[in-house]
Structure 1
Amino acid sequence: MMTEDFNDLLAFVAVAQARSFTGAARQLGISQSALSHRMRSLENRLGLRLLARSTRSVSPTEAGERLLQTLAPRFADIHAELAALRDLREQPAGIIRITTAEHAANTVLWPKLSQVLPKYPDLQVEINIDYGLTDIVAQRFDAGVRLGENLEKDMIAVRISPDQRMAVVATADYFANHSPPQTPQDLTEHDCINLRLPHGGILAWEFERDGRCINAHVQGQWVFNSSSPVLRATLAGAGLGYVPEDVALEHIAVGRLQRVLDEWCPSYAGYHLYYASRRQSSRALAVIVEALRYRP
C-alpha cells in the first residue's frame, strides 16, 4: 500500500472518531476540503462508502464502522510504541493526555502535577475535562481518571485520592427563608441546583443511612453541566447545592455555607488513574503515575 493510503486511513480514523470533518481537519492540521477529498479518494479506491454525511453530522457506515474497529486499536498501538521509543531518552519527554472530570482536575491533578512538571521540562500534560466514560484507547488518551466504582476491568488502575463524600449546602441567607431539610424527602420543598450528565440525564442526589439508600431527583431553577457553576450558584444563594465535600469545607469553615443532611451522605471510592497495559513502558507516564499515586 502506498504512503498516501496510510495517510488516508489515518484521516478516516480521525473523521470517524470525531464524527466531524471540522474537528478532524483541525486535529490533522489540514483544510476541510482537502480532508473531504481524501475521504472520497479512499472510498473510490475501496469501492465502498465508509462515511454517511449530512449537513450537520458525519458517521461511519457499516463498512466504515468495521474498518474503524480494525484500524483504531492498531494505530493506537503504533502511537504507544513510538511514544515508548521516545521515552528511551534519559529524560522523560512527550505529551501525556489525560481525560478527567473537573473536580478531579482541580483537586488532585493540578495540585500534584504542578509540583512535579517543573522538574521535567520536556514533559507536557494535556488535561481534557469530560464527564463521560471516555474510551481512552479509541480517543487516544494516555490515561483517564474515574471513581473506583466505574473502572474498566481490563485497565491498570492506581488510586490517586482518598475516599470521597458529597455535601448538601446553602447560604445562611437561603436558610433564613427556608427551613433546613431534616431528611432527603424534605428536598421537595427546596430550590435545588442540578447537574446535567453527559448522556442528558440529571444527577441524582444519593443518600444512605442505616442501610437505607435514597436516590433523590430534586428540582430547582438552575441546571449546570459542570461542578464549578453549581458551587458558584450555591454561594450566591440560589438554592441548595450538592457538591464534593472537599470543595465545600473551606466555605463551611468561614461561614459562607451551612451544611445539612450530613449524616445521610456516605463515603464512596475515591479517584483512580487508569491506563492500558501497553502504556506501562512509558517513562513519561510512569512519572505522572508516581506523582499522582495516593499515599495515606
Structure 2
Amino acid sequence: MLISGMDDLVVFVTVAREGNFTRAAATLGVSPSAVSQTMRALEQRLGVRLLTRTTRSVTRTDAGERLLTEVAPLLDQIDQHLSAVADLRERPAGTVRITADEFAARHVVWPKLLPLLEVYPDLTIELITDYGLTDIVAQRFDAGVRLGGIIDTDMIAVPIGPEMRMVTVASPAYLAQYGTPLKPEELTEYRCINLRLPTHGGLYPWEFGSGENEFRVRVKGPLIMNSVLQILDACLAGVGLAQLPDAQVAPYLETGELVEVLSCWSDAFSGYHLYYPSRHQQTAAFRVVLNQLRLSQQAI
C-alpha cells in the first residue's frame, strides 16, 4: 500500500484547494512546516510530483489535478458519512459553514442564529461574508444566503427574509447643498457613493423599477467603498447620495438623519433565501440552523 493512512490525502486535498501552504496549515490546525513535510513524503512514496511550488503560490501538476479530482469527492463522502454517524448523538454538534453578503450576515442571519450558540454548545457556525455568488460546493460551504432572484436553479432555496427595497437616500445637509434629484436619470449629475463588489471588482449599478420596467443607472461621485456599512456612514456624513437596503436605513429615516428620494421608482423584490445543493446530506447541526433561519421571515 502506497499510503499508510488518510491523513496524507487530507493534507494534499487541503493544500490543493487552498493553493497555499500557510492557509492549508491554518485550516488543518498544524504548522506550515508539518504540511510541507507531509507533502514531500507523499510525493516521494508516490514517485510523482503533485504540486508546483513558487514563492507566492502553489499550483497542481497534471498528476496532482487527477489525484484531487478522484480523491477529493471520496474524502467529502467519508466526511458526510462520519457526520451522519455523529448525528446519532443526542445534541447537534459540528460546524455549519454559511456564506452571506454583508447586509444579510448582519441583519438577517446573525440575529437569528445567535440564540443557537447558547442552546447547542457543541455547534459551531462559520459565517463568511462575500458579495459574489459563491460556489458553495467547490468552497465546501453547507449553504449560502443571497437574494432570491439570483440563485441558481439547481439549488434548493428557502426564503428566510421578507421582500426588500433598495432605497436612494441622502442626508438633509447634502440635499440642502446639492439639491434633490427628481428622476433616476438625473443621478449622473449628482455626487453619489459607489459600491465596488469585492468578488467581481466592478461598481454596483443602482437599480430602479422591477420586472419589465427594471432599469439601472451607473452613478459617479467622490467616494467608492466595498462595504454597505461604510457607505451608510459616509452617507450620514453628507458625502453623497447612496442606495442601500430599506431595513438598513429605516432607523435613520425615522430620526430624520437620512431622507429618501426617488421613492416612486423603488419597487419591492424577493428577499433573502438560504440555498444549498439538492443532494446535500443534511446533518443534525445543519437542520437546526435551517429550521432556525426559517422560523421568521421578519427582518431585524
Q: TM-score, normalised by structure 2?
A: 0.90
Q: Choose 22-31 or 153-162, whichever is displaced more.
A: 153-162
Aligned to 1:31: 31
Q: Choose 38-47 or 178-187, whichever is displaced more.
A: 38-47
CA-CA distance at 1:289 after TM superposition: 0.8
Q: Do the aligned partners of 2:2 and 2:46 also contact (CA within 8 Å) in 1?
A: no
Aligned to 1:49: 49
What value does the CA root-mean-square deviation take over the aligned residues? 2.1
User: Aligned to 1:268, what secondary structure does the other structure show?
Assistant: coil
Q: Do the aligned partners of 1:5 and 1:42 also contact (CA within 8 Å) in 2?
A: no
CA-CA distance at 1:271 after TM superposition: 1.2
Q: Do the aligned partners of 1:80 and 1:278 also contact (CA within 8 Å) in 2?
A: no
CA-CA distance at 1:118 after TM superposition: 2.2
Q: Choose 234-243 or 208-217, whichever is displaced more.
A: 208-217
CA-CA distance at 1:151 after TM superposition: 2.0
Q: Do the aligned partners of 2:80 and 2:281 also contact (CA within 8 Å) in 1?
A: no
Structure 1 CA distance, aligned partners of 2:128 and 2:173? 36
Question: Residues 120, 105 of structure 1: CA spacing in aligned structure 2 closer, same or farther, 3 A cutoff?
Answer: same
Aligned to 1:259: 260
User: Aligned to 2:235, what secondary structure does the other structure show?
Assistant: helix
User: Aligned to 2:209, what secondary structure does the other structure show?
Assistant: strand
Q: Which runs of 5+ in 2 are unaligned?
A: none
Structure 1 CA distance, aligned partners of 2:140 and 2:127? 13
After superposition, what is the alpha-carbon deviation per residue over 1:1-43, rounded to whole angstroms, capped at 9, x for unaligned?
Answer: 4655532221121112112111111111222222223223333
User: Aligned to 1:267, what secondary structure does the other structure show?
Assistant: coil
> Is 1:234 the equivalent of 2:242?
no
Structure 2 CA distance, aligned partners of 1:258 and 1:120? 42
Question: Residues 64, 269 of structure 1: CA spacing in aligned structure 2 closer, same or farther, 3 A cutoff?
Answer: farther
Percent of residue pairs bearing the same amino acid type: 50
Q: Aligned partner of 1:121: which letter?
A: P
Aligned to 2:206: 205
User: Aligned to 1:156, what secondary structure does the other structure show?
Assistant: strand
User: Aligned to 1:89, what secondary structure does the other structure show?
Assistant: coil
Aligned to 1:289: 290
Instruction: Describe how 1:88-103 pairs up with structure 2 within 5 A.
Output: 88-103=88-103
CA-CA distance at 1:279 after TM superposition: 4.0
Q: Which runs of 5+ in 1 are unaligned?
A: none
Instruction: Describe how 1:79-158 pairs up with structure 2 within 5 A.
Output: 79-158=79-158
Q: TM-score, normalised by structure 1?
A: 0.91
Question: Residues 88, 202 of structure 1: CA spacing in aligned structure 2 closer, same or farther, 3 A cutoff?
Answer: same
Q: Do the aligned partners of 1:97 and 1:127 also contact (CA within 8 Å) in 2?
A: yes
Structure 1 CA distance, aligned partners of 2:77 and 2:151? 21
Aligned to 2:68: 68
CA-CA distance at 1:278 after TM superposition: 4.8
Structure 2 CA distance, aligned partners of 1:210 and 1:160? 22
After superposition, what is the alpha-carbon deviation per residue over 1:221-263, rounded to whole angstroms, capped at 9, x for unaligned?
Answer: 2222222111111111111111111101111111010111112
Q: Do the aligned partners of 2:192 and 2:219 also contact (CA within 8 Å) in 1?
A: yes
Aligned to 2:181: 181
User: Aligned to 1:161, what secondary structure does the other structure show?
Assistant: coil
User: Aligned to 1:49, what secondary structure does the other structure show?
Assistant: coil
Q: Do the aligned partners of 2:159 and 2:273 also contact (CA within 8 Å) in 1?
A: yes
User: Aligned to 2:253, what secondary structure does the other structure show?
Assistant: helix
Q: Do the aligned partners of 1:72 and 1:138 also contact (CA within 8 Å) in 2?
A: no
User: Aligned to 1:229, what secondary structure does the other structure show?
Assistant: helix
User: Aligned to 1:144, what secondary structure does the other structure show?
Assistant: strand
Q: Choose 138-147 or 65-74, whichever is displaced more.
A: 65-74
After superposition, what is the alpha-carbon deviation per residue over 1:167-193, rounded to whole angstroms, capped at 9, x for unaligned?
Answer: 111100111111111122211112211
User: Aligned to 2:96, what secondary structure does the other structure show?
Assistant: strand
Q: Aligned partner of 2:164: which letter?
A: Q
Moved over 6 A (4+): none
> Is 1:275 the equivalent of 2:251?
no
Q: Do the aligned partners of 1:164 and 1:269 also contact (CA within 8 Å) in 2?
A: yes
Q: Aligned partner of 1:201: which letter?
A: G
